[in-house]
């Protein structure tokens, strides 16, 4: 089995030491399911001081990443024919689970991490897609890049001990996951729903489907699509529902 390659262009490669201590990522690295290759942008900087940024034309606050170092770093990466280049930017489309699933069929993802006040507009030409992890601004693209590495790695065959655990997770099929319980059966007067200890697998499956629809309707109506909607009454107190 070939490794899935993550190639990351970043000004702060040490930030990615964190992923070595995340269970799923650590196992995938140990099993050679993935390779994470870091390209320190400073090594591709310009001149004696390895300059990677400069003042923006037209004035303005902050510094902007120069195009030359990023192009040099990008061109040094050996690319698979089955790869995508993602640019981490708050101007990109918001990351969805379906994006991770789509990319999991590739052999390689190249991640370009923005920094400072942004990057020279000509850097966008390198990217197949521009990605954001939410409608907010971070100091750089390292955390978004690590989010993609984590989320995508979980989907690769052999990473998780039980691949069935992926089936009903939140955001698969545009629904949130159903409530989960374990022992004890009663905790601080909060009781596990009777259906889950009934042994009736058909009823359990139906209950979980209803809870997925109900939870999504309550928390994330924006995710509800007509083909997934199950007719339920938000005000029906007869159905067990955690108000979380």
Q: What's the confidence (pLDDT) of residue 141?
A: 96
Domain boundaries, the chain: 4-153, 167-244
pLDDT in the model for residue 54: 95
239 pLDDT above the threshold of 80: no
% of the chain surpassing 90 pLDDT: 70
pLDDT: is 151 or 160 the higher one? Answer: 151
The whole-number pLDDT of residue 15 equals 94
* pTM, rounded to two decimals: 0.81
At residue 91, what are phi and psi to the nearest 5 degrees?
Answer: -85, -5
Residue 244 has a pLDDT of: 36
Taking 50 as the threshold, does the pLDDT of residue 146 lie above it? Answer: yes
**Does the pLDDT at position 110 exceed 90?**
yes
- Under the banding of pLDDT at 50, 70 and 90, the label for residue 226 is very low
pLDDT range class, residue 233, cuts 50, 70, 90: low
Alpha helices, H only, 196-236 = 201-219
Rounded to 5 degrees, what are φ and ψ at 25? -65, -45
State the pLDDT confidence band at 188, using cuts at 50, 70 and 90.
Answer: very high
Give the integer Cα–Cα distance in Å for 174 and 212: 10
**CATH number corresponding to 167-244:** 1.10.1270.20
Residue 182: per-residue pLDDT: 92
- Residue 131's pLDDT is what? 97
Q: CA-CA distance, 132 to 136, in Å (whole number)?
A: 9
CATH of 4-153, one of 3.40.50.300, 1.20.120.1230, 3.90.580.10, 3.40.1280.10: 3.40.1280.10
Q: Name residue, tokens 């729903």.
A: 193
Between 238 and 76, the more confident residue is 76
Note the pLDDT tens digit of each residue in 6-65: 999 999 999 999 888 888 888 899 999 999 999 999 999 999 999 999 999 998 888 999
Alpha-carbon distance 64 to 123, whole Å?
11
């Amino acid at each position: 089995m070939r490794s899935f390659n993550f190639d990351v262009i970043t000004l702060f490669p040490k930030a990615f030491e964190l992923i070595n201590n995340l269970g799923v990522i650590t196992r995938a690295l140990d099993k050679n399911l993935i390779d994470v290759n870091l390209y320190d942008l400073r090594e591709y900087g310009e001149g004696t001081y390895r300059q990677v940024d400069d003042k923006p034309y037209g004035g303005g606050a902050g510094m902007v990443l120069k195009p030359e170092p990023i192009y040099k770093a990008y061109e040094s990466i050996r690319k698979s024919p089955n790869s995508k280049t993602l640019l981490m930017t708050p101007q990109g489309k918001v990351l969805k689970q379906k994006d991770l699933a789509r990319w999991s069929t590739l052999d390689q993802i190249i991640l370009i991490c923005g920094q400072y006040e942004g990057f020279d507009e000509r850097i966008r030409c390198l990217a197949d897609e521009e990605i954001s992890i939410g409608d907010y601004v971070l100091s750089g693209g390292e955390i978004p890049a690590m989010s993609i590495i984590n989320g995508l790695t979980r989907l690769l065959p052999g990473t998780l001990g039980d691949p069935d655990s992926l089936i009903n997770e939140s955001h698969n099929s545009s629904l949130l996951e159903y409530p989960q319980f374990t022992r004890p059966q009663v905790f601080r007067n909060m009781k596990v729903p009777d259906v889950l200890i009934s042994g009736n697998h058909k009823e359990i499956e139906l209950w979980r489907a209803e809870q997925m629809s109900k939870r999504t309707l309550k928390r994330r109506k924006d995710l509800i699509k007509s083909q997934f909607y199950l007719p339920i009454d938000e005000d029906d107190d007869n159905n067990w529902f955690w108000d979380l």
